[in-house]
A = this chain, B = another copy of it.
C-alpha cells in the first residue's frame, strides 16, 4: 500500500503550519499544488521536486499526485488553510477511487476562519457557520438560503471567497440579506492576507461592511447579536446566560 499525503499548510507563513505538516513535506520527494501555495513553501524545502497544474485544473492535479505516488515516490499534495475546508481532500478521495493501492493521509491545518479570527480577536467563540460566496459550483439560491438561515439563527458567520473580478457586488448582496435579520451595528470584521506579508484587519459594523471593498484575499467575519468591539478587537462571549 502506497501513502499519499494531503497537507493543509495553514494561512501561509511556514510557522503557522502544524509540526506534522512540516514533517510530511520534509519527508516527501515530490510536492504538488497550485503554484501560489507551492511558492509559499518552496524556500523551506530545498532539493524537492515541485509539480503543478494551472487554476481550475484540479482534477488533473489530483491525477498527477496519484500517478507520482504510484511510481513509488513519497508525494504530498498541498492546500492553503485546511485541506478539508473548500480544499482538495474531497476531490482526492473521489479521484482516488481509480487508484485502490494508494492510501490517503489527510493532515489538517489552520483554515482562514481560525487564522483570521485570531487576528481579529475572538469572533468565533460560539456557534458559527462558514459560507463561500463563490457560485462557480453552487447555485446562488443555495448560498442565499444559507445566508438567511445563518442570519436568522444568530450564528457568527465567516464568508470565504467574498469577491472576485466577476463577482464584485456579491458581498454587498450578502450584507443586504443579513441586514433583513441583523441590526446595522452588528459587529463585523475583515482580514486580508492572513498570516502573509501585508496582513491587515479592521473591525466595523455590518452597515459599514456593506459598503466596503474586499478582494479574493479577504476573509469576512460577521458576529452574532452578542459580539462586541472591545478596543478594536472583535469578541464573542461564550454564551448568552452570562451576558
Binding site for B on A (CB under 8 A): 8, 10, 13-20, 22-23, 82-87, 89-94, 97, 106-111, 114-115, 117-119, 121-132, 136-139, 142, 145-146, 148-150, 152-155, 230-231, 233, 235-242
Which residues of the other chain, B, contact A150 by a CB distance below 8 angstroms? 129, 149, 153
Chain B residues whose CB sits within 8 angstroms of the CB of A10 once the complex forms = 18
Contact B132 A130 (CB under 8 A): no
Which of A10, A118, A123, A131 is packed against the most chain B CB atoms within 10 Å?
A: A118
- The answer on a CB contact under 8 Å between B242 and A137 is yes
Q: How far is the CB of A120 from chain B (nearest CB, A)?
A: 9
The answer to whether A91 touches B145 (Cβ under 8 A) is: no
Which residue of B has the minimal Cβ distance to A85? B124
* A233 close to B19 (CB less than 8 A): no
Residues of B within 8 A of A93 (CB): 121-122, 230, 233, 235
CB pair B17–A19 under 8 Å, yes or no, is yes
Name A125's contact: one of B8, B90, B124 (CB within 8 Å). Answer: B90
Chain B residues, CB < 8 A from A19: 14-19, 22
Q: Write 12 A-B pairs (CB below 8 A) sorted by A numbering.
A: A16-B20, A18-B18, A83-B122, A84-B117, A85-B114, A86-B125, A86-B238, A89-B121, A91-B238, A107-B118, A142-B154, A145-B154
Closest Cβ neighbor of A58 among chain B residues = B238
Assess whether B241 is in contact with A118, with CB atoms less than 8 Å apart: no
**B117 pairs with A114, CB closer than 8 A:** no
**Chain B residue with the shortest CB-CB distance to A92:** B122
Say whether A146 contacts B137, CB under 8 Å: no
**Alpha-carbon separation in the docked complex, A220 to B151 (Å):** 23
Residues on B with beta carbons closer than 8 Å to the beta carbon of A13: 20
Question: Which of B90, B114, B128 has a CB less than 8 Å from the CB of A122?
Answer: B90
Most B CB atoms within 10 A — which of A142, A230, A238?
Answer: A238
List the B side residues contacting A129 at CB < 8 Å: 127-130, 150, 155
How far in angstroms is the closest Cβ of chain B from A181?
Answer: 11
A137: nearest chain-B partner, CB-CB = B239
Contact B138 A145 (CB under 8 A): no
- Identify the closest chain B residue to A139 (Cβ): B240
Question: Is the CB–CB distance between A137 and B107 below 8 Å?
Answer: no
Chain B residues within 8 Å of A18, by CB: 10, 15-19, 110
In the assembly, what is the distance between CA of A110 and CA of B19, in Å? 12
